[in-house]
A and B are shown apart, each in its own frame.
Chain A
Amino acid sequence: MNARSAWGLTLVGLGGCIDYGYTQARQEDVFPQNRINSVDVLLVIDNSCSMVEEQANLAVNFDSFIQIFESAEITWQIGVVTTDTESEEFSGRFVGGDDEIMLIDAAGEVADEVRYDSSWGATEGVSLSLDPSYMSALDNDSEGRWCRGAASPGSVNPACGAGDGEGASDRYGAVIVTEFLADPGGVDDSLGEWVELTNVSASDVDLSDWALADHGKNLWSFPQGTVIPAGSVWVGARSADSGVNGGVTATAAFEGEFTLNNDVRVLSPEVEGAAEIFSELVAQGTTGAGIEMGLEAARLALSDTLLNGHNAGFLRDSANLSVVIVSDEEDSSPLPVDEYLNIYAAIKGDEAYRDHSRMSVSGVVGDEPPPFDGQPSCSSSNGNADYGSRYVYAAYQTGGLLDSICNDDFAPIVQDLGLTLTGLEQNFTLSRLPVVDSLEVSIYESADRSTKIRDLTLDVDYSFVEETNSLSFSPDQIPGSEQFVVASYLVRSGSK
């Protein structure tokens, strides 16, 4: 012991004896943090009517969700499916890589709509422009009539010999969508996405009270007085500053009110702009089937057929699997709940039946039984939620998290969820009662304490909870996977 530490101990001891009557006994507790290296999160979103606010609530809290993973140094992946198993578009298939550009007129009618998906090839840096031979609201519905990578925002589109496909929707569109860039290459999406419209009629069109929208969260209203002269084009971009948006001359800025989905189905730390993409993924709108089958949708998503096809790249052998269901309705899947749990567990191997960190189901649902049959489980400003008894049971069986979808603020839910999915301990109970002022807490890489990561400061890095006699860490301070927390302290007199 060097002179300095001896002096420090003496001072603490003296202070203890004179002021508080503590003994000199010193205790050291070593807590190993759990080993969790990676998690695959299958997020099942209810896309039936009544879910708009909940989807938005989830989207705005994505950053704090991911922050917990990142502070815990966990590698994560997220795939999103909907509870809709009726539509072939969903039915366990990861959403993403598709979006709509809808032009809504002043009467609320859809003047034009272009729906693209990953088959259109709108990959990073590749714009899509409508072949000039097909300048109509009907002809621009088909992927075969669009040219790739011939960006000409604000100018006449070059021809590329496109010609396959048929129109899907018979919109009247005097103004139509003729070009767009969903995933800019050189600049961030939040600056460089753009959409070009063309007035294909013989008259000027006043776009006051018109809007650009999609089936999810996007809605951007044109500024009053926006007019496109007959035969002219108009360009709007996320940023109207050509110095930062990749050099596009744009008339108006959408900023965050209208965004375009990238061709991403599995989110991971490597995906640029993950928060924005997540907000698109969870904004699945309310066009899904009125009957929700969250457990069945998860089964389909994890089936060999989809994991080897549309959902490829999601499931990692070494990663834990967490199914998270967000729904305000009861599950109507056809099998008993336990059968679904056995199917999910079998995917992760034998240990997943007993070790719930390997496979769990969590639910943000109506989590309390109603007082009377036929009544909702809970109510909020967003409406009523039915009791999700099957989801509640699944979470109970697998040690997952349950929270109420009726909460107005999803931030605490998302934080709880992040912590549950990491599997990391947030609280460490001391073996004896400490003299609080004497607590010295450090984090080490290994139990032999050969490599210290950092010393911690009480009430800055952690807090002491008297009621539970434990050290408590805030979500952004939780010791990482396999690290060791070492707490040294003087034991209070009378403590065993």
Chain B
Amino acid sequence: MSWLLALFLSCGGAGDFECSEEKACAFGAVCVEGQCQTQACATSDQCPIEQFCNADRSCQPGCAEDSDCLFGDLCDTETATCESRECTDTRIDCAYGEFCNAAGECYEAAGYYCRECEDDNDCGGNGNYCLSGYCGVSCQSDSDCPSGYDCLPLTDLSGTVVTYQCWTYCWLYE
């Protein structure tokens, strides 16, 4: 009698449902409308970069948050796409020889930076010097210089600072 009751409950109670609140699916699967479905992901950490784990538990191209994007990109959550972050710091965000402007864009520095020269006349005046075959550009601080350059003091033989020049080891960047 008890055997028949168990059989009845099994058929009538659970129906064709493979899983329920009481009957969990195997590890790695979720219960969707009574059926166990293997999930591709539980969190975005299980998806490739520039993809995220959506509500259906599958990896989808795009992003849900910044950590789904490459370093330097941010997630536009409205479009679920990774976008390049605007620059905020010349030295950190821009490539060699570029400045970061107020619009958050890196742009190539115009001027005589690291232009090859034979004497100061090749460097456009304005206090620019020809140093070791490459032009320096007059500056007052590092922030006057593009990425990769330092505002370095130039001294005379007595050690007195004559000028400050944006300069670097130009030959290394050629």
Contact = CB atoms under 8 A, between A and B. Distances in A.
Interface of A: 85-86, 289-291, 293, 330, 332-339, 341-342, 345, 350-351, 353-355, 373-374, 389-390, 393, 397
B60 to A, nearest CB: 15
A345 B71 contact: yes
Contacts, number: 76
B95 A336 contact: yes
Nearest to A355: B45
The 9 closest A-B pairs by CB, nearest first: A338-B72, A334-B96, A341-B71, A338-B71, A291-B169, A373-B141, A353-B49, A350-B48, A350-B49
B24 to A, nearest CB: 19
Contacts of A374: 141-142, 151
Contacts of B70: 338, 342, 353
Nearest to A338: B72
B45 A351 contact: yes
Residue in A335, A338, A355 whose Cβ sees the most chain B Cβ within 10 Å: A338
A338 B91 CA distance: 12
A294 to B, nearest CB: 13
Contact of A332 (B49, B67, B92, B168): B168
B72 A332 contact: no
Residue in A289, A332, A339, A355 whose Cβ sees the most chain B Cβ within 10 Å: A332
Residue in B67, B169, B173 whose Cβ sees the most chain A Cβ within 10 Å: B169
Interface string B149-160: 011000000000
Contact of A336 (B49, B94, B142, B173): B94
Nearest to B70: A342
Given A332-B168, A373-B141, A338 B93 contact: yes
Interface string B89-102: 10111111000000
Nearest to A331: B91
Contacts of A345: 49, 71
A342 B85 CA distance: 14
Contact of A342 (B44, B71, B95, B172): B71
Nearest to B100: A336
Contact of A86 (B48, B71, B169): B169
Given A350-B47, A374-B141, 8 more contacts: A289-B169, A334-B173, A338-B93, A339-B95, A341-B71, A342-B70, A345-B49, A355-B45
A342 B72 contact: yes
B62 interface: no
A336 B106 CA distance: 10
Given A291-B172, A354-B45, A373 B91 contact: no
A389 B88 CA distance: 13
A354 B148 contact: no
A249 B85 CA distance: 67
B38 interface: no
Contacts of B147: 336
Contacts of B54: none
Contact of B72 (A291, A339, A373): A339
B92 A390 contact: yes
A85 B71 CA distance: 24
Contacts of B173: 334
B7 to A, nearest CB: 36
Nearest to B73: A338
B58 interface: no
Interface string B17-52: 000000000000000000000000000110111000
B163 interface: no
B96 A335 contact: yes
Interface in B61-119: 67-68, 70-72, 85, 87, 89, 91-96, 106
Nearest to A351: B45
A89 B48 CA distance: 38
Contacts of B95: 334-336, 339
A353 B71 contact: yes
Interface in B129-155: 141-143, 147-148, 150-151
A391 to B, nearest CB: 10
A262 B143 CA distance: 45
A290 B94 CA distance: 22
Given A338-B71, A342-B72, A393-B92, A354 B49 contact: yes
A293 B150 CA distance: 13
A290 B171 CA distance: 13
B142 A373 contact: yes
27 contacts: A86-B169, A86-B172, A289-B172, A293-B172, A330-B91, A332-B168, A332-B169, A333-B148, A335-B95, A336-B94, A336-B106, A336-B147, A338-B70, A338-B71, A338-B93, A339-B71, A339-B95, A341-B71, A342-B72, A354-B44, A354-B45, A354-B49, A354-B68, A389-B89, A389-B91, A390-B91, A393-B92
A241 B70 CA distance: 60
A175 B143 CA distance: 53
B9 to A, nearest CB: 33
A293 B95 CA distance: 13
B141 A336 contact: no
Nearest to A339: B72
A354 B67 contact: yes
A334 B148 contact: yes
